[in-house]
């Protein structure tokens, strides 16, 4: 799977309304739902069922559930090794758990990312300094999913 495939798939979700826990292109998605939908389009079946989750992403327990799940199924990359198609994990406030995801669309000058954002739906946003400083991890999709991967 190539970066252009990931970016094309992510951009295909632009305009989808924001709906917590949803993952249906055109009908509703949150940031994880967008990532799940792109995974299905470029790799096939999702690697594990997603349990119900709250918008606070286990913040009161200080549990980095989203980060651990990303490490199980994606390839972690150095933060400065930016490439289109990367999965970006954001910490929205200092000291809080990482709970927002996006997909890098453009890197370098004019960097942008596609994400599902409450009140906005799925959009492509500039990767401005305020957004960039919130990135805590960067991942790449696996090249393929073998028959024994997942659960």
Residue 148: which pLDDT band, with cuts at 50, 70 and 90?
very low
Residue from 112, 87, 83, 120 nearest 101 by CA: 87
How far is it between the farthest Cα atoms of the chain?
40
> Among 10-14, 27-31, 55-59, 115-119, whose mean pLDDT is lowest?
55-59
* Stronger pLDDT, 29 or 149, i.e. the higher one: 29
Residue 151 pLDDT more than 60?
A: no
Q: Please report the pLDDT score of residue 57 as a whole number.
A: 61
- Averaged over 27-42, what is the pLDDT? 97
Parse the chain into domains and list their residue ranges.
Answer: 3-140
Cβ neighbours of residue 145 closer than 8 Å, sequence gap 6 or more: 43, 44, 45, 47
- Averaged over 109-129, what is the pLDDT? 96
Q: Please report the pLDDT score of residue 27 as a whole number.
A: 98
Residue 146 pLDDT more than 60?
A: no
Give percent of the chain above pLDDT 70.
90
CA-CA-CA-CA torsion for 150, 86, 14, 111, nearest 10 degrees? 170
Q: What is the pLDDT of residues 44-58, one digit of tens each?
A: 999 999 888 877 665
The fold of 3-140 is endopeptidase fold (from Nostoc punctiforme) (3.90.1720)
* Stronger pLDDT, 132 or 58, i.e. the higher one: 132
Q: Please report the pLDDT score of residue 13 as a whole number.
A: 98
Q: What is the pLDDT of residues 73-111, one digit of tens each?
A: 999 999 999 999 999 999 988 888 899 999 999 999 999
């Amino acid at each position: 799977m190539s970066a252009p495939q990931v970016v094309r798939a992510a951009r295909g979700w632009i305009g989808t309304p924001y709906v917590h826990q949803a993952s249906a292109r055109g009908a509703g998605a949150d940031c994880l739902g967008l990532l799940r939908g792109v995974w299905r389009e470029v790799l096939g079946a999702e690697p594990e069922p997603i349990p119900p989750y709250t918008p606070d992403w286990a913040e009161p327990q200080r549990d980095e559930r989203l980060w651990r799940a990303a490490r199980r199924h994606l390839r972690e990359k150095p933060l400065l090794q930016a490439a289109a198609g990367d999965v970006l994990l954001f910490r929205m406030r200092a000291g809080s758990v990482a709970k927002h995801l996006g997909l890098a669309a453009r890197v370098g000058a004019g960097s942008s990312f596609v994400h599902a954002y409450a009140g906005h739906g799925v959009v492509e946003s500039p990767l401005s300094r305020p957004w960039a400083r919130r990135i805590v991890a960067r991942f790449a999709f696996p090249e393929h999913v073998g028959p024994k991967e997942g659960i």
